[in-house]
Amino acid sequence: MSQRIAVIPGDGIGNEVIPESIRALEAAARRFDLQLDFRHFDFASCDYYLNHGRMLPEDWKEQLGGFDALLFGAVGMPEKVPDHISLWGSLLQFRRHFDQYINLRPCKLMPGIRSPLAGREPGDIDFYVVRENTEGEYSSVGGKMFEGTEREVVIQDTVMTRIGIDRVLKYAFELASRRPRRKLTSATKSNGISITMPYWDERVQEMSEHYPNIDVDKFHIDILTANFVLHPDWFDVVVASNLFGDILSDLGPACTGTIGVAPSANINPEHRFPSLFEPVHGSAPDIYGRNIANPIGQIWCGAMMLEHLGHEKAGQAMLDGIEAVLAAGSDQAPLTPDLGGQGTTSELGEAIADAIRDGD
Ligand code: NAI
Ligand code: MG
């Protein structure tokens, strides 16, 4: 059966790293006999906005809704279009309307990459941050009164629903049960935030009763951030509300080195809508056009996408290909300048595709 993939490079280096992700995906498809059918779209980019006065066509949901997954580059060219317009007009629409309620980020220290944390080796850092992606602290409930007077008041409410919490917890527990350590950490702050966070803890407790094999612990968000830095080896799957997850999902990958290698996924686990796979980095206007962007984050997105589509072996082979090339080091492999090498985007992409092809 063929998988239909919508490819949306967006802006800047999105256009340089997407072709390398496709090259790697095609190598994996050939090796594992998968049918991947790519279709390219030019919307969700600032050039599209300048031509059409909007980031997306009116019927974008119809155009994209039937795809199995969206492979996304990056959006934003602040010199052409303000960031809040380009981001709200594209990526955030996808996340919201396709009910991508899981934001998933692997935090894995790869061979050949120096962690900013002293003395950490590959194997020491290997966990996932699972962030609730639709509600919580990022609500639109609230308002402003008496604006411009001494009585000025602003209120923004946190919205947590049982459905919203339970579905992200279920995803995180399921993920933890597929991993060898079977460990789940919950981010809370029930000592300070005295209504929603105790409720979050209650739901974690109840969900954990369905997963007796999982070792569960929880930390308040303040000490949890410290422990990401001090003891990253403690973690396996970390689950968090929207705000806490936002913070942790930047901190986690930052502990594993360059931004150029980090992937992320916005997932609708039921496959009712396509899920979206995008690197953590943005469009990097400062290096765009020089063919030196690191394509690994985007290639790793392809691996996560295959895993989500049920092709775990092919996804793992892509990750193995990335690790093999990184382990070879800049003497043997055309690593990009951010990794200390002198390779180009396309040379590194080609080396990884070759490693995926030769992996068996
Ligand atoms: P950025 O991630 O684009 O760049 C930050 C720094 O990291 C730059 O120095 C850049 O050269 C470097 N970098 C990023 N990706 C790299 C790669 N693959 N290889 C080597 N070096 C890399 O973040 P910045 O500069 O804050 O934002 C630029 C634009 O991207 C803005 O319009 C912003 O809104 C947008 N952006 C979009 C995101 C998305 O589409 N999800 C995420 C983050 C930023
Ligand atoms: Mg963030």
Query: What's the CATH code of the domain at 73?
Result: 3.40.718.10
Say whether both 211 and 134 belong to one domain. Answer: yes
Query: 183, exposed or middle or buried, with CB in 10 Å at 0-12, 13-18, 19+?
Result: middle
Of the candidates 244, 253, 309, which has an alpha carbon nearest to the alpha carbon of residue 29? 309
User: What's the rounded mean pLDDT across residues 313-330?
Assistant: 96
User: Which of 281, 286, 300, 339 should be mutated for ligand 1, with most atoms under 8 A from CB?
Assistant: 281
Reduced to 3 states (helix: H, G, I; strand: E, B; else coil), residue 13 is: coil
Q: Which ligand is nearest to the CA of 10?
A: 1
pLDDT tens for residues 48-100?
Answer: 999 999 999 999 999 999 999 999 999 999 999 999 999 989 998 999 899 99
Boundary of a domain, candidates 254, 287, 316: 254
Centre of ligand 2 to C-alpha 197, Å, is: 21
> Closest ligand 1 atom to the C-alpha of 281?
2
Residues 301 and 357 in one domain: yes
Last residue of a domain, one of 254, 284, 302: 254
147-170 core/surface letters (b: 16 or more CB in 10 A; e: else) = eeeeeeeeeeebbbeeebbebbbe
Q: Which ligand is nearest to the CA of 298?
A: 1
Ligand with an atom nearest the CA of residue 247: 2
Q: Which residue range(s) make up the domain with 181?
A: 126-254
Same domain, residue pair 58 and 175: no
Banded model confidence at residue 360, pLDDT cuts 50, 70, 90: low
Is residue 110 situated within a structural domain? no
Say whether both 178 and 285 belong to one domain.
Answer: no
pLDDT of residue 257: 86
In a domain, 29, yes or no: yes
Q: What is the pLDDT of residues 208-239, one digit of tens each?
A: 999 999 999 999 999 999 999 999 999 999 99
75 pocket-lining for ligand 1 (C-beta < 6 Å) = yes
Q: Which amino acid is at 157?
A: D
> What is the residue-wise DSSP string for 154-180?
EEE--B--HHHHHHHHHHHHHHHHTST
Q: Quick one: pLDDT at residue 358?
A: 87
Above pLDDT 70, what percent of the chain?
A: 100
pLDDT score at 300? 98
Q: What is the pLDDT of residue 359?
A: 79
Domains identified in the chain, total number: 2
- pTM score, whole prediction: 0.95
Question: In this predicted complex, what is the ipTM?
Answer: 0.98
